[in-house]
A and B are shown apart, each in its own frame.
Chain A
Amino acid sequence: MSELTFETTLPAVRVQRTASRLRPGPLLAVTFLAFLIIAALAPQLFAHSDPLAIVPHDAFHPPGWAHWFGTDQSGRDIFSRVIYGTRQSLFIGLAATALAMGIAIVLGLLGGLGGAYLDRGVGWLLEILFAFPSLVLALLFVAIFGSGVGPLIVATGLGGAPGYARMVRGQVLAVRNAGYIEAAVALGHPTRRIILRQLLPNAMRPLIVTLTMGVGQAIVWASALSFLGLGAPPPAPEWGTMLSMGRDFVANAWWLTFFPGLFIVLTTLSTTVAGRYLQQRLEGRLS
């Protein structure tokens, strides 16, 4: 640990709660996440109008019975757009987190198992990556590879990877010396099998929580990029893009920016609360 002292990229991980009953908070969070997942799979269940249908003379209707969240500058129903946008926003969040984790596992395993030199190398790489704040890294990435959903996912994933990698490495180091691994080694099991069957699952278990919360954070960062006009191109009903397209009208029509933002907040909030609940359950079971 000569160069690494700041293992916290997703600080909420450290938070532990003692109670583990299903209180209203987690219940609401899980319900909302379930709602989002259903909305992502079958948006037509909730939204009755086409998110891309343009009705210019219906532009800028404030929220009301006909349009719960109002209409935007093209007369599109914002509620429908937010619901249909769930798919893309969730997908971006999940894909970016998965990518970040993929990179993290490779780096973490290399660092944790590859011997002292490799470990030091990985440590340096992480230190270098950490020197770029996530949005700066993402901006550089977008500058090189252009904007769009693909680069957005990669940029967000890259921004999150060093944090996860540090955790994976820590976990691998901790688990490597555990009794059951030593036992497996003594029994002569092949290394690959030990890594895949024993080491990785055990090292990853505590990270599940982090990942849950990470999806929320990834959605926030991705929408920040979209907000800067570097993400999903319009008319895609992606939340960040909707915010970006609506921000010129914030003085005339607040609902254009308010509702997509609200969904980002609720999603992040739910992943955090649900993740924390999951953590309590896992810890409860483990201890």
Chain B
Amino acid sequence: MSAITYSNARHERLARLARRATWRLAGGVLVLWAVATLTFFALHLMPGDPVLAILGGASGNPTAETIAQATREFGLDKPLAVQYALYLGRLLQGDLGMSYSQHLPVTQVLAEQSWATLQLTFSALALAWLLVLALTVLTAGRGRWVSSLASLAETLAAALPHFWLGILLLAVFAFGLRWFPPAGSDGWRTLVLPAVALAIPLAGFIAQVTRESLELTLEQPFVLTARTRGLSDTAVRFKHALRHAVLPGISLSGWAIGALISGAVVIEVIFSRKGLGRQLYQAVQAQDLPLTIGISLAVAAVYVLANIVIDLLYLWIDPRQQGKTA
């Protein structure tokens, strides 16, 4: 009897989650369409003739015929509305156009560069959470000194700009101690310093929130109950309090994805790593329209998707939210 009720409730809950996911995905697609539109029109405001950017930039010094040919080839002679329609049509077929500066289809550039950035951002996110858990679970509510010291460390970490931290790590651990290679995109050794540079400030942010919520949770009655049942302090912290305390931190992870991608631009430049961030920076400098739009779209897609996942994860961990948000 009770099992059936449970299973019904569970079913109900899953169905609600699925409905929510569908809605969110539909919303995400609309957001992406808006992003594509916005970028497309915004970048057409860019000064300078895109044909010149296509034909080798400032020094290509192309002839009249090559300009005319490229203008036709890229459809730049058509009215903007037509270009937009063509662009959307191609977009639906998964065609993001040719990169002017790379002489490659944008999708291929994305395919080649995404993995390095994903690797970097996910290692950084994982490392950040590891640091957060280690720091907060072990120090929250442990008396004023420990607490304020840990809190100072978190605040400091959150105040460190990626680029400065990156340079310091580079100078100390790659140039000075030579523990890690200063550049490259192959192997875990090249990943360490960039991931740390991205993770530390992020960990600072997440830890501040998590500590706060953990300290509140530790004062909750159910924690006291658990303690009276004879559970060890560490067990209480990890098994009971943490589940509640990480919620704000997890919701922050959506924001974190954005922050990590922003940080990746700078970090990839500093560490001469391949990746979408550095590619975007170079595409912007080279006024490579299709590539800039393509990367922005890809980044937005990741962001939207990650937020949907986190949203659902949030609901899953804390069902109370469902009533609130439905």
Chain A interfacial positions (CB closer than 8 Å to B): 1-3, 5-6, 8-9, 11-12, 14-16, 25, 124, 127-128, 130-136, 139-140, 142-144, 146, 216, 220-221, 223-224, 227-228, 243, 247, 250-251, 254, 257-258, 261, 264-265, 268-269, 272-273
Known: A11-B252, A136-B261, A254-B171. A228 touches B269 (CB 8 A): yes
Q: In whole angstroms, what is the CA distance A5 to B24 when docked?
A: 11
Of B42-50, B62-70, B108-116, B183-191, the one contacting chain A is B42-50
- The interface residues of chain B lying within 8 Å CB-to-CB of A142 are 284
Given A132-B299, A139-B281, A223-B163: 19 more A-B contacts, CB < 8 Å = A3-B24, A3-B27, A6-B307, A11-B205, A11-B206, A11-B208, A16-B212, A131-B31, A133-B257, A139-B265, A143-B46, A144-B45, A144-B46, A223-B161, A264-B164, A265-B160, A268-B158, A268-B159, A269-B156
Q: In whole angstroms, what is the CA distance A14 to B23 when docked?
A: 28
Known: A243-B163, A250-B167, A250-B170. A132 touches B287 (CB 8 A): no
Most B CB within 10 A of own CB, among A11, A14, A223: A11
- A272:B158 contact, CB within 8 angstroms: yes
- The interface residues of chain B lying within 8 Å CB-to-CB of A258 are 168
Contact with A along B183-220 (1 / 0, CB 8 A): 00000000000000000000001101100100000000
Q: Indicate if B32 sits at the interface (CB-CB under 8 A).
A: yes
The A/B interface has a contact count, at CB < 8 Å, of: 161
B257 to chain A, nearest CB (A): 8
- The interface residues of chain A lying within 8 Å CB-to-CB of B45 are 144
Residue of A nearest to B206 (CB): A11
Within 8 A of A (CB), among B254-288: 254-255, 257-259, 261-263, 265-266, 269-270, 280-281, 284, 287
Residue of A nearest to B310 (CB): A6
- A224:B163 contact, CB within 8 angstroms: yes
Interface of chain B: mostly helix, strand, loop or mixed: helix
Residue of B nearest to A266 (CB): B159
Interface of chain A: mostly helix, strand, loop or mixed: helix
- B43:A143 contact, CB within 8 angstroms: yes
Residue of B nearest to A139 (CB): B284
Q: In whole angstroms, what is the CA distance A269 to B45 when docked?
A: 38
- B167:A140 contact, CB within 8 angstroms: no
- The interface residues of chain B lying within 8 Å CB-to-CB of A269 are 155-156, 159
- The interface residues of chain A lying within 8 Å CB-to-CB of B303 are 130-131, 133
Q: In whole angstroms, what is the CA distance A3 to B49 when docked?
A: 39
- A134:B255 contact, CB within 8 angstroms: no
